[in-house]
A and B are shown apart, each in its own frame.
Chain A
Amino acid sequence: MVICAVLASGSAETMAEKAANEGILLLGNGNEPKALDPHLVSGVIESNLLRALFEGLCIEHPSDDSASLPGAAQSWSANENFTEWTFNLQPTGKWSDGKPVTAHDFVFAYERMLHPDFPSGYSDMLYFIKNAEEFNKGQVTDFSQVGVKAIDDYTLLISLKAPTPFLPSLTKHFTWLPVPSHKVLEYGEMTEPYTAWTHEGNLVSNGGFQLKKWRQNHFIEVERNPHYWDRAAVSLNGIRYFPVKNANTETRMFLNGQLHATYTIPPDFIPTALKKYGEQIMQETYIGTRFVRANAQREFTSNPLIRQALSLCIDRQSIIDNILQGGQKVAGSVTPPFGSYQPKNMTAFDPAKAKLLLAQAGYGEDAKLPELELLTTDSDTNRRTAEAMQGLWREHLGLRVRIVQREWKSYLKMRSELDFDLMDGAWIGDYLDPTSFLDLWKGGNGNNNTGWSDAGYEAILAEAELIEDPATRYAKLLEAEAYVMEQIPAIPVYHYNTNYFLSPTVKNWHPLLLNTHPYKFVELQK
């Protein structure tokens, strides 16, 4: 103790202040990443790391969601109907080992991602490319037929299967990142997953930063990439990510000066914190929706009237105000409103009408209602929300709902087997377009998980796919939105909001809908 006291007495500054002086950003990152291979991951935690390490064709603007800045591509252009795109790569683009980043690396990356022998769970993000889906499913075996071509070392041609005006914003997603073919091949074959190429000491990347240290469950540190083409623009010397799982601990660490930004704030702490540390709390719209999915394969919940009745009993505002407490928005539609896409609020809290609908469905005053099972995960907030809805349904409909709380893998198993009546779940948009949400409810979508499908609904979506004019397309999609809200296979509860602490020393960090802050532009005030 004495030694510690002596050691510490020299410096009164906090860890965050010390790190700020060294230009190192300290971030809470929620959990340990599953991998650092862009083709093997699917989570937010991993994407935060990949965004520092790798750079796609386009990158995020620090404050404007709709803008796409030059990344690995210096410039790009499209044909008239947005189906052929040409990307001109940075002539000085280099991997962190000094090798140039070429169009072949991109072709290699997309081939690896789409290869039928490679177990990438997120390859459908590339299905916009012509023949990509067919190649991924083994229907086309020759990759040269897929719409990705290296015209020369620095020119990449991408042909799409349908008009996609928002392709540049898609290329910001981690599934579109390049990988260093020379390094991947050094540690194994192209289609060999789980090799050592991403381990500490081996990983070579093309972003503003390179991997320095990777300590399991401890921290991951990235440092400046000395070969990055735009290195002069990078202000930070490094970022240290802490996989802090316990949100209370994370908040305490921040308030004790050990972090510059947290991953989240425990809901119960938000009201107090807003009063005490108001200017350090970020509450930003995040493009995601929480649903209660209803199992359309089970008799009771297969009736849309009953699903509507269940929806009408959820006092969304009260759940937000009392449980979530983070300024989330009542979900009146499947897709959260953003930009020029503004669906109406199509839900309400109206228990009287709910009773009426229930009676219409054949369950009058004296009818015996079945007991339902609501499947949820082991998180505290989800448990509490489930308990609140359980109380509301019981109070207003006399409906007994049993909460089945399962650990992650059991939950996923029961979810995919449709082993539930109701299920608590969420969806976070992958890219800024309503289809990121509306496509979920197509019959063949692996993330549908409701057992509901409807030809009429899919017809509207198919029509929208062919429309080139963005405004008309949105109008069509709003039609689909209304359709799915009428049928309500999944009952939207709230639209997400991110809540986190951010130290005032962090500059040039602005609210973004996808919460993808480009670290390249972030600065630390000394």
Chain B
Amino acid sequence: MSTKSRSLWSDAWLRLRNNKLATASLFLVLAILFACFVLRWFLPHDPNIGNLNDKYLAPNGTHWLGTDQLGRDLLTRMLDGGQISLMVAIIATTLTVAMGVIYGSVAGYVGGKVQNVMMRLVDGLLALPFLVIVILMREMIASQLEIVSEFLVDTWGWKSDLVQRFSNIIPLICAIAAFGWLSMGRIVCSQAANLAQMEYVEAARSLGLGYWKILFRHIVPNLLGTVIIYATLTIPSFILYEATLSFIGMGIEPPNSSWGMLIKDGANLIETQPSLLIFPALLFSLTLFGFNFLGDGLRDALDPKTAKD
């Protein structure tokens, strides 16, 4: 088993490297991650402090992309916001994939009544109002988070700005993941149900393979294609969830920025200061393109069928 899986992954890696677009995307994504999480700390400006009289400066030597409504450096805020947005999206997507695949594949493979009950449950949960969950999560988790962050600051001497920044995205991640896995579960389930009818699964079953072995050896790997495509779609949509919450004033805590927040603020300035929309939207789109083509590449690389070519 172990040798087999290793060759699957190294094969996939080889195929991925042969795909120029995917490789380029991989580098793009890595570059953006590097910029947000490393380079950002070498920029001279504080993302949250600006001089009001320097608002709306055009790009120049000191402020490479200009300044925002409060005279803060736009580039620093974009990279800083990238940390938040990417963390929200990536962590929530990981949770979503884990929950969605497990739940969905079990439901789809077992089928029958169990599938029915499990899917009806998903239907029900999907109809809960998202905003209620967000507000409740914030209410429930916020006080606990405060205790934890105080502990981190007081006992371990962590920087309070930093702790606060990251602690206030946790309710958001929980709320988004609590919703995100539902659609993932549905899609995985219908795919798994399809696969369960396939000849090779029947064959495996007639060979006497166990329930779980069939599930994890034959069903789940064949779901990867769908899951990866869907996951690359959820990353942008989760960044957008956060943005939409910003639109109704429920996003992350100011003065922190996020891509959603920057784009939303920029959208209000379309007529007057378009650059405040264009730069963040550009970085956001580039990231999504990167994730998307990387996802496509991964899917092709992992798909056992294209392997035959």
The short answer to whether A and B are in direct contact, CB under 8 Å, is yes
Instruction: Say whether A405 faces chain B, with CB atoms less than 8 Å apart.
Output: yes
- Say whether A378 contacts B253, CB under 8 Å: no
- Say whether B272 contacts A384, CB under 8 Å: no
Partner of A387 from B139, B250, B254 at Cβ < 8 Å:
B254
Contacts of A387 in B (CB 8 A): 48, 70, 254-255
Known A-B contacts A266-B268, A378-B248; the reply to A386 vs B70 at CB < 8 A is no
Interface residues of B in 249-269 (CB under 8 A from A): 249-250, 253-255, 265, 268-269
Cβ distance B220 to chain A, nearest Cβ, rounded Å: 40
Count, chain B residues at interface, CB 8 A: 25
- Say whether A395 contacts B253, CB under 8 Å: no
Cβ distance B111 to chain A, nearest Cβ, rounded Å: 43
Known A-B contacts A378-B250, A380-B265, A407-B135; the reply to A388 vs B70 at CB < 8 A is yes
Instruction: Say whether A436 faces chain B, with CB atoms less than 8 Å apart.
Output: no
- Say whether B55 contacts A386, CB under 8 Å: no
Question: CA A126 – CA B156 in complex, angstroms?
Answer: 58
Contacts of B268 in A (CB 8 A): 248, 266, 268, 380
Contacts of B253 in A (CB 8 A): 402-405
Contact with B along A363-384 (1 / 0, CB 8 A): 0000000010000011110011
Partner of B53 from A268, A322, A402, A404 at Cβ < 8 Å:
A322
- Say whether A388 contacts B49, CB under 8 Å: no
- Say whether B254 contacts A323, CB under 8 Å: no
- Say whether B70 contacts A407, CB under 8 Å: no
Bin the interface of chain A by size. Answer: 20 to 34
- Say whether A407 contacts B250, CB under 8 Å: yes
Contacts of A340 in B (CB 8 A): none
Instruction: Say whether B271 faces chain A, with CB atoms less than 8 Å apart.
Output: yes
The DSSP consensus for interface residues of chain A is helix
Question: CA A268 – CA B267 in complex, angstroms?
Answer: 12
Q: Which residue of B lies closest to A403 (CB)?
A: B254
Q: Which residue of B lies closest to A317 (CB)?
A: B52
Instruction: Say whether B244 faces chain A, with CB atoms less than 8 Å apart.
Output: no
Q: Which residue of A lies closest to B248 (CB)?
A: A378
Question: CA A395 – CA B71 in complex, angstroms?
Answer: 14
Question: CA A395 – CA B46 in complex, angstroms?
Answer: 12
Question: CA A322 – CA B71 in complex, angstroms?
Answer: 10
Contacts of B116 in A (CB 8 A): none
- Say whether A391 contacts B272, CB under 8 Å: no
Contacts of B269 in A (CB 8 A): 268
Best-surrounded residue of B55, B71, B135, B268 (most CB of chain A within 10 A) = B268
- Say whether B52 contacts A319, CB under 8 Å: yes
Contacts of B48 in A (CB 8 A): 387, 391
Contact with A along B82-104 (1 / 0, CB 8 A): 00000000000000000000000
Instruction: Say whether A473 faces chain B, with CB atoms less than 8 Å apart.
Output: no
Instruction: Say whether A318 faces chain B, with CB atoms less than 8 Å apart.
Output: yes
- Say whether B272 contacts A394, CB under 8 Å: no
Instruction: Say whether A390 faces chain B, with CB atoms less than 8 Å apart.
Output: yes
Contacts of B70 in A (CB 8 A): 322-323, 384, 387-388, 391
- Say whether B265 contacts A403, CB under 8 Å: no
Instruction: Say whether A269 faces chain B, with CB atoms less than 8 Å apart.
Output: yes
- Say whether A322 contacts B55, CB under 8 Å: yes
Contact with A along B63-76 (1 / 0, CB 8 A): 00000011100000
Contacts of B52 in A (CB 8 A): 315, 318-319, 321-323, 388
Cβ distance B43 to chain A, nearest Cβ, rounded Å: 18
Question: CA A100 – CA B217 in complex, angstroms?
Answer: 85
Known A-B contacts A268-B273, A319-B52, A383-B254; the reply to A377 vs B249 at CB < 8 A is yes
Contacts of B160 in A (CB 8 A): 371, 400
Question: CA A207 – CA B281 in complex, angstroms?
Answer: 51
Contacts of B55 in A (CB 8 A): 322
Which residues from chain B sit less than 8 Å from chain A, CB to CB?
A: 48-50, 52-53, 55, 69-71, 135, 139, 160, 164, 248-250, 253-255, 265, 268-269, 271-273
Given A323-B69, A383-B249, output 4 extra A-B contacts at Cβ < 8 Å. Answer: A268-B268, A318-B53, A391-B70, A403-B255
| Sample (26) of A-B pairs whose CB atoms are under 8 Å apart | A248-B268, A268-B268, A268-B269, A269-B271, A272-B271, A315-B52, A318-B52, A321-B52, A322-B53, A322-B70, A322-B71, A323-B70, A371-B160, A378-B250, A379-B249, A380-B265, A383-B249, A384-B69, A384-B70, A387-B254, A388-B52, A394-B49, A403-B255, A405-B249, A407-B135, A407-B248
Q: Which 10 A-B pairs have the closest CB atoms?
A: A378-B249, A322-B52, A387-B255, A403-B254, A318-B52, A272-B272, A391-B49, A387-B254, A383-B254, A322-B55
